[in-house]
Structure 1
Amino acid sequence: MPKIVNHEERKTQIAKATWNVIAKYGLEGASVRSIAKEANLSLGAVRHYFNTQEELLEFAMQLVEEQVRERIIEHTKRPLSLKEITLNILMELVPFENRNIEMQVWLEYVSYKIRKKEVGEDNVYSAVVQLVTKLNDEGVLQENIFLEEEIVHLHALIDGLALHILMGVVPIGEERVRYLIRRELDRLFK
């Protein structure tokens, strides 16, 4: 009897193997062959799901975005203050715990798109815009702030912290990052 394969699970398995290869060897080492080896699949099995390396990289990046989005949605369901929910959402954009590999993949992918001159929308920036705009619409932010400047400032803080953590150049723990983001939110909230 033939083995029944869950195709979505298999694609996710391949995407996560792609993350691991990217984390170990960078995007340059993420050949379909190396990804197939990491996933313990044949080259043909990987090619069955993804015709090109580009398709595979796009799917792997989409999976990163999907996982982050799902975790963010979970934070909005928790019975916390709006400021605490915002803090938890912003912490999802900083690479701690299992998020480290997601950030590595994101950074490699963005670098790859820059080299190809195909830079699209920055999802972190978009998330910050959406979040700050929603908070402003809710009427919970200080009235004397310049919204666009605050968005740029908060985005720079999150991106800078994420990059420093990923690079490991500036030793900074999760509690310190949480404190710095909370301090920024204290300044923005009424």
Structure 2
Amino acid sequence: MPKIVNHEERKALIAKATWNVIARDGLGGASVRSIAKEANLSLGAVRHYFNTQEELLEFAMQLVEEQATERIMEHAKQQLPPKEVTLNMLMELIPPEDRVVEMQVWLEYISYKLRKKELKEDSVHQGINLIMNKLNDAGLLKVDINLEEEIIHLHALIDGIALHLLMGFITIGRDRIRALIERELDRIFI
């Protein structure tokens, strides 16, 4: 009897193997052959799902973004005060130790797209922009702030902390990171 394969699970397995290869060897080391080896699959099995390396990389990156978005949106459903929900959502943009690979892969991919001049938008900036505009429209932010500058400031803070943690330049616990972001939110919330 032939083995039944769940194609979505297989694609996710390949994508996660891609993340591991990129985190270990960089984007340059992410050949289809090295990814197949990491996934413990044949080259043909990987090519069955992805015709090109570019297609595989795009799928792997989409999976990173989808998983992060899903985690962020779970917080939006919480019945908590808006500032706490916002804080929880923003904390998802700073990966804990068990999701550092996602951040490494994301940075490699963004750099790759920048070099190819194919980066059209920054989804992190878009997400922060969306959150802040919704809060502002709901009348939850101080009226005297410059919303555009606050979005840039918050984005820079989040990216800066995440990048410095990834590089090992700062050693700071999640509670302290949370307190730093909360202080920024206190400054702009009513």
TM-score > 0.5 by shorter chain: yes
Counterpart AA for 1:79:
Q
Secondary structure of the structure 1 residue equivalent to 2:4: coil
| Offset at residue 99 of structure 1 (A) | 2.5
Task: Give the corresponding residue for 2:46.
Answer: 46
| Offset at residue 98 of structure 1 (A) | 2.7
Q: What are the superposed Cα offsets for residues 131-156 of structure 1, whole Å, 9 maximum, x if unpaired? A: 10010011100110011011111111
Following TM superposition, where does structure 1 have runs of at least 4 consecutive aligned residues deviating by more than 2 angstroms?
Answer: none
Task: Give the corresponding residue for 1:87.
Answer: 87
* Ranges in structure 1 where 5+ consecutive residues have no aligned partner: none
CA RMSD of aligned residues (A): 0.8
- Provide the C-alpha distance between the structure 2 equivalents of 1:74 and 1:187, rounded to a whole number of angstroms: 25
Secondary structure of the structure 2 residue equivalent to 1:57: helix
Task: Give the corresponding residue for 2:148.
Answer: 148
| Offset at residue 169 of structure 1 (A) | 1.2
* Ranges in structure 2 where 5+ consecutive residues have no aligned partner: none
Task: Give the corresponding residue for 1:104.
Answer: 104
- Provide the C-alpha distance between the structure 2 equivalents of 1:73 and 1:63, rounded to a whole number of angstroms: 15
Number of residue pairs aligned between Structure 1 and Structure 2? 190
- Provide the C-alpha distance between the structure 2 equivalents of 1:162 and 1:140, rounded to a whole number of angstroms: 26
Task: Give the corresponding residue for 1:165.
Answer: 165
Secondary structure of the structure 1 residue equivalent to 2:97: coil
Counterpart AA for 2:30:
A
Counterpart AA for 2:34:
S
**Length-normalised TM-score, structure 2:** 0.98
Task: Give the corresponding residue for 1:61.
Answer: 61
Counterpart AA for 1:125:
H
Identity %: 72
- Provide the C-alpha distance between the structure 1 equivalents of 2:179 and 2:20, rounded to a whole number of angstroms: 30
- Provide the C-alpha distance between the structure 2 equivalents of 1:126 and 1:135, rounded to a whole number of angstroms: 14
